[in-house]
Structure 1
């Protein structure tokens, strides 16, 4: 018998040895034992657990609260860091603290507005109780103090921080991710080169006079492109003003294609910035032409690759993302930013990136499947985006890019390849007309021309393969 149940029965029988109760009932040792959950016999039929609907009774909301009044402030001699990991929930909880009452009310109001689940509500309430039970008007909550304690208890840090920020008592003391990344990229460079590259990277991120801030991805690409060359130059030079045009030409001779153009774009930007701030005397990249970006011939996807991607999309969200990329040629950013208001099922209209297009029957079925799943899975979410997951359902922002890319990770038919293949298919089916492609997909004129030229080359190659004898026919003076 279960030792817990045997100990309970022996105690209820007046202190008999453990296991003796079952022997007395049967008169002999049992050859078998009926298993059951521990202490099931102790539960009374009329206990609250057996009352129907007791879990559905809503818990009363916390009373409305506001920021506590500060009549006078006792200044502190020094600030001592607090260790929330040593908080004892059985002895140190102070539910009468006005700061905690205010935080619980703000958490309840935010949870109602964002559609937080029951587990998230309890986790936020417990985390706020740990952090604010002994809070005063002079206390500041730092991220470095909160994160270890809440992560050790598996409590949500992000939602708790949202409430603390709304209260105005939170300070995020984490170093910026860009600073940590840039520090790692600058390691090993000469001091003079390091100063110029750091000033250039920060100007690209924050902007400068006559320089607009760039996308963070563009900064990553440009710094990473230049880093190997800058490390080699740091072994010989102490400053970028010592780099000559011959040094730059030696680097460019070893690069081809888009590697050469990408390096030259980053180098021109760096040296032009240094020349503007007068840290170098002359720009060695001046007069070097980048040239036109070499585009290769895009081929159609194999049907087997498309079938494998279709089989990998097993969830309603994955099927919707796959359909938007393969049928409507939507980019990942456009899919992430789609709102519920962009879907008009009544009029069979779908707006993607500001362009409204009709909804076919296949798209209509996929949308209905996803909307039904979304309504069942997150009935109370306040997120206005069409595609959400378990994290973004608690907020109002779009889902992460990783959420979309991981669905087809390892497949030949990625979302980008499916989008390109759809546009190429349109060009092959309706003729290589740039105006048609621009009208259907909203492409830039140069992009539409490039797709049309690519389709024209594929059609010419297919015609030659069908009639190989035509290539060997002699041509007259005035043509074929």
Structure 2
């Protein structure tokens, strides 16, 4: 019982960055079963560990595999180490009938910069979010008798978004325009039915977050992760997705900079003293809490720090650091709007927040309508 004895010697002390007692017992239980049936000197197939864990919620797979791998007792299964978003994408597309499934794959090839023209490269997590928005629409179309996306009309595209509003409508419109623009570019459709579909991303006035809610943000964020998240959103207007993609290697405390990844593009944040201090505190806390973590992402949680798949922290973890009534998107927009009120300079907004010229002009127009009311249309 060599491996089991070794693991049982490890005390699940939270200060050491190890698992809680309940998860610790699940690991021991799983190892006990494996060692009983296979012996302590036999290499264990990774697939067998995962299959065993599926039989009972009181069994664990990933931490046990990590433990066995470190001791040379695990035979890795490459299929289990595929990108989780890629696996989800394959399953979602395989559920679609042909040739719609093939057309969606061509669209994704374009998003991955593998089409006829070189474009902005998108990660699998971004593609998953795109497909998640359009998947119900594709299912409805195919269920109604559509056999290929060539048959989709402008009216059908408009009907797909007409029942939605706000963020959901905007995102679906963006995805539909991307889908049909890519298919037209690859010459799989004769016309683009979503070409004139209004996105509505720059319509309306951004709303400020109430000052009474803003005042207690740092008090509400009781952890180093929470305080750094608040600073990145409220001071530097980094989106929730942008925060999740920051890697530890992107942080340069000596120079006081953080690089934000946006596809192939990079936006460099210059940290002021407050955020610099919080970033240093978080890095020190992370190293002390999870010294064995190999996860490259800057922000990690109890669940992701020691996960061998090295996932990004869940967006729900970031949302929970904010009090009720405040959202990551709302806080980010409020920061940009505040800066637009202060300076009225679109170029400064672009440099500070890495936003496009069109978005910067929109915020300046909202904050200072007198500056743009006489511009030529």
TM-score, structure 1 normalization: 0.54
Gaps of 5+ in 2: 10-15, 163-168, 261-266
Give the equivalent residue in structure 1 for 2:89. Answer: 178
Give the equivalent residue in structure 2 for 1:417. Answer: 330
Gaps of 5+ in 1: 1-93, 109-114, 187-193, 277-281, 462-480
Give the equivalent residue in structure 2 for 1:157. Answer: 61
In structure 2, do the counterparts of structure 1 residues 217 and 375 end up closer, same or farther at CA, with 3 Å as the change threshold?
closer
Candidates 105, 116, 138, aligned match of 1:210? 116
Give the equivalent residue in structure 2 for 1:85. Answer: none
Give the equivalent residue in structure 1 for 2:158. Answer: 252
Contact 1:348 1:359 in 2 (8 A): no
Candidates 76, 100, 104, aligned match of 1:197? 100
Larger Rg over CA atoms: 1
In structure 2, do the counterparts of structure 1 residues 392 and 412 end up closer, same or farther at CA, with 3 Å as the change threshold?
same
- Aligned equivalents of 1:216 and 1:202: distance in 2? 12
Aligned-pair CA distance for 1:326: 0.5
In structure 2, do the counterparts of structure 1 residues 129 and 420 end up closer, same or farther at CA, with 3 Å as the change threshold?
same
- Aligned equivalents of 1:224 and 1:303: distance in 2? 38
Listed one character per residue, the Cα deviations across residues 117-165 of structure 1 (whole Å, up to 9, x for unaligned) are 386788656644532552657977435532146743x4x4212233556
Give the equivalent residue in structure 1 for 2:270. Answer: 357
Give the equivalent residue in structure 2 for 1:391. Answer: 303
Aligned-pair CA distance for 1:438: 2.0
Contact 2:170 2:200 in 1 (8 A): yes
- Aligned equivalents of 2:171 and 2:252: distance in 1? 41
- Equivalenced residue count is 331
Give the equivalent residue in structure 2 for 1:117. Answer: 18
Q: 1:209-288 to 2 correspondence within 5 Å? A: 210=116, 215-232=127-144, 234=145, 239-240=147-148, 243=151, 245=153, 248-249=154-155, 252=158, 258=170, 261-262=173-174, 264-265=176-177, 268=180, 272=184, 276=188, 283=190, 285=192
Give the equivalent residue in structure 2 for 1:408. Answer: 322
Candidates 212, 215, 219, aligned match of 1:304? 212
Aligned-pair CA distance for 1:424: 1.5
Which structure's relative contact order is higher, taking Cα pairs within 8 Å and 6+ residues apart?
Answer: 2
Q: Per the alignment, in what secondary structure is the counterpart of residue 328 of structure 1?
A: coil
- Aligned equivalents of 2:175 and 2:351: distance in 1? 35
The CA RMSD over aligned residues, in Å, is: 4.7
Aligned-pair CA distance for 1:428: 0.9
Contact 1:342 1:352 in 2 (8 A): yes
Q: 1:338-357 to 2 correspondence within 5 Å? A: 338-339=247-248, 342=251, 344=253, 349-353=256-260, 355-357=268-270
